[in-house]
Amino acid sequence: MAIATLPRTTGRRTSARRIEPMFYFLLVPTLIIFTLAITVPAVMGIVLSFTNSVGFGTFRFVGFTNYIAAFSDPAILQAYGFTFLFAAITVIVVNVLAFLLAIALTAKIRARSALRTAFVVPMVISGIVIAYVFSYLFGTSLPALATSIGFAPLEQSMLADPNLALVALVIVAAWQAIPGALLIYIAGLLSIPSEVYEAASLDGATGWRQLRSITVPLTAGYIVINVILGFKGFLNVYDIIVGLTNGGPGTATVSVAMSIFNGFGNGDYAYQMANATIFFVIAVIIALLQLRFTRGKAQF
């Protein structure tokens, strides 16, 4: 009985598949541009944060002086407190409203496509334009309406009240950010097979039970993505604040990004670079903690 034998391989075993030259043609220029535009300036900024530089001219190294001063600066600590409070509140508002809207816009209703298009419009408008429009509404239209109906708390501009300015900023930021989160949630809801809901209905599951036991668990990955991207974006808030309050009333709504940018023009370049480095490290730590906490939950 003949025994089949495998052909003997000669020479070296072929290595990994050859990479096409087009890959390098597309990758290398991108890496060069990213390095020159992002990495090099970031490294230079970190180095200058250990100096007394004002952004030009000569400088000398001062060690951790800028970092020690930043951790004890009441203005910077207030900016961090406001920024994190704003980001936390806004990310909750955006995700709750976007998720509910996504459920409504994926239901069997008329004009779903038209409504989806209408809700996406705010996403394509510049933040500074949105801020100026809402500044007029909060400063003129809303007080006039409140005066006509006798609602005293809103008879003056929300932007002039330290207690209401944060609420106004959250409203505007959420109005702009909801469409992006909405699109992600719609994609997540449409990925759930309809048979799952049909089987749940046959088993007698109510709408609330289906939402709690099917919709939310099966869209957990999309929720994680929206929370992480939203929180990161809201930490960097700048244009909406400039257009609405410019940091006021007083310094009640000064964000970290705004304090850094304003400091660059006031001769505090190295000091604000230290502030920016601290902010970067905090943002990275938060992102790592979010990913660690949600690991295993972000499954699509």
What average pLDDT does the structure give for the chain? 85
Is pLDDT at 124 greater than 90 in this prediction?
Answer: no
Gap between the Cα atoms of 136 and 256, Å rounded: 25
Does residue 37 fall inside a structural domain? no
- Quick one: pLDDT band at residue 14, thresholds 50, 70, 90? very low
Residue 238: give the domain boundaries.
74-265+274-293
50 domain residue, yes or no? no
The predicted pLDDT at position 258 comes to 92
In a domain, 123, yes or no: yes
Number of domains in the chain: 1
Question: Looking at the predicted structure, is the pLDDT value of residue 181 above 50?
Answer: yes
pLDDT at position 201? 86
CA dihedral 239, 245, 250, 256 (to 10 degrees): -20
Q: Is 215 a member of any domain?
A: yes
Is 257 inside any structural domain? yes
Find out whether 259 and 76 touch, Cβ atoms under 8 Å: yes
Taking the model in full, what pTM does it have?
Answer: 0.83
Whether residue 298 has pLDDT greater than 60:
no
Q: Does residue 249 have a cis bond before it (omega within 30 degrees)?
A: yes
101 domain-assigned = yes
Give pLDDT tens digits for 76-91. Answer: 999 999 999 999 999 9
- H helix intervals, 8-141: 21-34, 40-48, 65-71, 74-105, 112-120, 127-136
Give the domain CATH number at 286. 1.10.3720.10
| pLDDT band at residue 1 under the 50/70/90 scheme | very low
Domain membership of residue 104 (yes or no) is: yes
The string of pLDDT tens digits covering residues 199-229 is: 888 888 888 888 888 888 888 889 888 988 8
Q: Residue 16: inside a domain, yes or no?
A: no
